[in-house]
Amino acid sequence: MKGNWLLVLSVISFTHAAHGCPDKCLCHRASKTADCKNRGFTDIPPRLPPEIQILQLQNNRIWRINQNAFTGTPLLKILDLSNNSLSIVAPGAFQKLRYLQVLNLTRNLIHYIENKTFSFLPHLKELDLSSNSIIRLPETFGNSTGNITLLSLKHNKLQKMERVLLESLPNLKVVLFKDNPWQCNCNVFGLKLWLESFLYRGGISDGIICSAPGIRKGKDLLKVPYELFGACPLRTAQAQVGSAAQPGAEPRSPPRLGAHGDSGDSGRASCEPKARARPVSLRHAIATVVITGVVCGIVCLMMLAAAVYGCAYAAITAKYHKEHLAPVRQHGTAEEKEPFDNSLA
């Protein structure tokens, strides 16, 4: 009897090892899922089944991801790393996951995202970076990330965001900005322009609420008038067109300002109104020309009317003098005629 139990245990162990499922995980062949949540992992577990498409690693203590961590699971479509201890995500950490569609990194300790962190993920559609401590984002997430449709940046420490990054995501449909300490100065002017265009095209967003400066605290960035950004220096048209045409290109460093710049950042020199704002200015210029032409036309008509009125008045006055005053001068007054009439009598 004892020998039979040992045989059964051996078969189970062999089957378990053949499928490569880690000891603490539950692997479901039918759904191609590896359930490794709440297991106390500090690294990505090894020996995962190569055929799995869903990997659940939430609620662990994973603090790093090695570059070869997912070499053995190339078919992954959904990866959940939420509620772990990740502080840095190395560039290329996910580069083997060419079929990945959903990446959940919420509730970690990530402070910044490097360029090309999500390179070579051509099928990535949903990227959730909410509830971290992210203070800055790069100008691009990496090559082949243009299919992202949902980007969540809620509950981070972002004060500004490069418009170039958002322009590199042409298929974006939903973007979430809630609960970030946005600095509504020149640094977010480009973001304001992009967000207006994004919403006009039918995109969905929870908006950007200003945290500073004090006079704009609590206000929706979209409702901050353009006039308040009037002091932001415009870059040259060539720089604007170049940055729009090459989202991944390194920007030129703006000149530094002195103590008169906005506190806590590089001041107004990093204001980035792009070339897309030019049609608005062109419309304003055309409207100004039309209004000026109308005003000039009205003034000319008024001057012409005044001239006609003056001529008419002069003609009437001359006619009056000719008809009424001339006879009087010729025949004299009644008093002058009276003595002559009396003498005849």
Which residue type, as a one-letter code, is found at position 134? I
Mean pLDDT, residues 114-141: 92
What are 60-106's pLDDT values in tens digits? 999 988 888 899 999 999 999 999 999 988 887 898 899 999 999 99
192: which DSSP letter? Answer: H
Both 150 and 48 in one domain: the answer is: yes
Q: Taking the alpha carbons of 292, 297, 300, 305 in that order, is the dihedral positive or negative?
A: negative
How many domains, in total, are found in the chain?
Answer: 2
Judge contact between 92 and 74, C-beta under 8 A.
no
Both 269 and 134 in one domain: the answer is: yes
Both 219 and 296 in one domain: the answer is: no
Choosing from 245, 275, 305, the residue where a domain stops is 275
pLDDT of residue 283: 56
How high is the mean pLDDT of the chain? Answer: 78
In this prediction, residue 259 has a pLDDT band, given cuts at 50, 70 and 90, of very low
Tokens representing 200 are 């006009």
Both 52 and 9 in one domain: the answer is: yes
Both 162 and 28 in one domain: the answer is: yes
Both 107 and 86 in one domain: the answer is: yes
Both 151 and 120 in one domain: the answer is: yes
Mean pLDDT, residues 308-335: 69
Mean pLDDT, residues 298-325: 82
pLDDT of residue 8: 36
Closest CA to 121 of 158, 81, 70: 70
Tokens representing 219 are 């206000």
As a whole number of angstroms, the distance between CA 138 and CA 151 comes to 14
